[in-house]
Amino acid sequence: MKALEDKIIAEGEVYPGNILKVSSFLNHQLDVDFLMTMGAEINRLFSDVKIDKILTIEASGIAIAVAAAAHMHVPVVFAKKNKTTNILADVYASQVESYTHKEVYQVIVSKEHLNKGENILIVDDFLAIGNAISGLMDIVEQAGGNTQGIAIAIEKGFQGGGDKLREMGIRLESLAIVDSMTDNSVKFRQQ
Amino acid sequence: MKALEDKIIAEGEVYPGNILKVSSFLNHQLDVDFLMTMGAEINRLFSDVKIDKILTIEASGIAIAVAAAAHMHVPVVFAKKNKTTNILADVYASQVESYTHKEVYQVIVSKEHLNKGENILIVDDFLAIGNAISGLMDIVEQAGGNTQGIAIAIEKGFQGGGDKLREMGIRLESLAIVDSMTDNSVKFRQQ
């Protein structure tokens, strides 16, 4: 998605540790009009697939998932990173290791919000190693659902998670794939 | 908003400790088409006010804030509950005591995303005691912005936070105000 690549060039900042900061529009401040156009593009990319529900993970996945769902007219379920006292029912749970924060956490989804046989589109803002996505796929499998595809705003291609998923035969659509980045240059993969 | 009251009656569950569980549509699973109609209603309620930006708090405030922003065509900033390694710039911070989770946390917003003189609409899914809202108002004040109003999906009127804000002269619009709730009955305030 050319408009997203342009926005990353214009507003993104590269920091040590493979960090691409896009907090001006994607994960702290949200450019909602732009998010809605990204949502429309995700809808277009998966228009040939039957999707019953979008699954994402709190917190920064929620905005892009809502934007996609607004165009696809399906509900979103967001996995939580901490057990809250508000969820009394049983949960599906999976372990995730965070590359950015160097910590292990559990993603949980209440059993009542994922059903057997549902066709799930997983949506997230970033894909790097792919640990969070693997956790979400694990949860869909536990629920007896089908992961029909994965939609990502920005894939860090050089960290390999995306290509590993493609090799597994999973349909993955990333709106922008960063193949390399340095202080003064971000290079995108041709799609 | 009659449609929201009907949905709370149909899908909400009351639990001990003043917990109203609406995780089927508002804060775990998200009924995005319905959220968008709530966003349209927030836009209508504040159509006479100049709003530059919406401020909310992760995680469950993000969806309703995005829905409102999609109609108001303004950016959203979501306050974070934990310091992340991705934010390197200075932050505005405020202490918040969580009623639901019985814990104290810090809400933080990167200084680069709130500017002096900006007209802010604070949006959140729930208002009870009002501690999270007070933290967000404190942050707006620190930034030199103006809290022009507060929009809430569900206010728990019987917990008093909303009326305290109204007495302070703050413009608060709640799409539904629960005045009492028991196992088998939820009563709403006439608006």
pLDDT of residue B89: 60
pLDDT, one tens digit per residue, over B7-18 is: 999 999 999 888
Q: CB distance from A32 to chain B under 8 Å?
A: yes
Question: Across residues A119-126, what is the average pLDDT?
Answer: 98
Q: What is the mean pLDDT of residues A43-59?
A: 97
The pLDDT of B46-67, averaged and rounded, is: 97
Torsion of CA B164, B94, B126, B146, to 10 degrees: 70
Residues of B whose CB is below 8 A from A92: none
Residues of B in contact with A88 (CB under 8 A): 15, 21
> Which residue does chain B place closest to A83, by CA atoms?
B101
B172 bridge partner residues = B150
Q: Tell me how far apart the alpha carbons of residues A177 and A174 are, in angstroms, rounded to a whole number.
A: 6
* Confidence at A144, pLDDT banded by 50, 70, 90: very high
Which pLDDT belongs to residue B85?
Answer: 47
- A86 interfaces chain B, CB cutoff of 8 Å: yes
User: A32 and B101 in contact by Cβ < 8 A?
Assistant: no
State what percent of residues in chain A have pLDDT above 70: 95
Please give the Cα distance from A157 to A20 (Å, whole number). Answer: 12
pLDDT in tens, A81-115: 864 444 456 899 998 887 766 778 889 999 999 99
Instruction: Tell me what pLDDT residue A85 has.
Output: 47
Which chain B residues are closer than 8 Å to A110 by Cβ? Answer: 23, 28
Query: Distances from the Cα of A110 to the Cαs of A18, A62, A107, B63, in angstroms?
Result: 33, 16, 10, 18
pLDDT of residue B82: 64
pLDDT confidence bin for A170, thresholds 50/70/90: very high
| Contact across the interface for B66 and A32, Cβ inside 8 Å | yes
Confidence category of residue B39, pLDDT binned at 50, 70, 90: very high
For residue A178, the Cα-to-chain-centroid distance in whole angstroms is: 15
Closest CA to B96 of B55, B138, B56, B63: B138
Q: How far apart are CA A172 and CA A46, in angstroms?
A: 10
Chain B residues in contact with A25 by the CB 8 A cut-off are 75
A59 → closest Cβ in B19, B59, B110:
B59
Residue numbers of A between 11 and 30 with CB closer than 8 Å to B: 15, 17, 19, 21, 23-25, 27-30
**What pLDDT sits at residue B21?**
94
User: Confidence band (pLDDT; 50, 70, 90) for B159?
Assistant: very high
Is A97 at the interface with chain B, CB within 8 A? no
B28 close to B54: Cβ distance less than 8 angstroms: no
* Model confidence, pTM: 0.95
ipTM of the complex: 0.94
Chain A residues with CB under 8 Å of B73 CB are: 32-33
- For residue range B73-128, list pLDDT tens digits in order: 999 999 998 644 444 568 999 988 877 667 788 899 999 999 999 999 999 999 99
* Distance in angstroms (rounded) separating the CA atoms of residues A41 and A35: 10
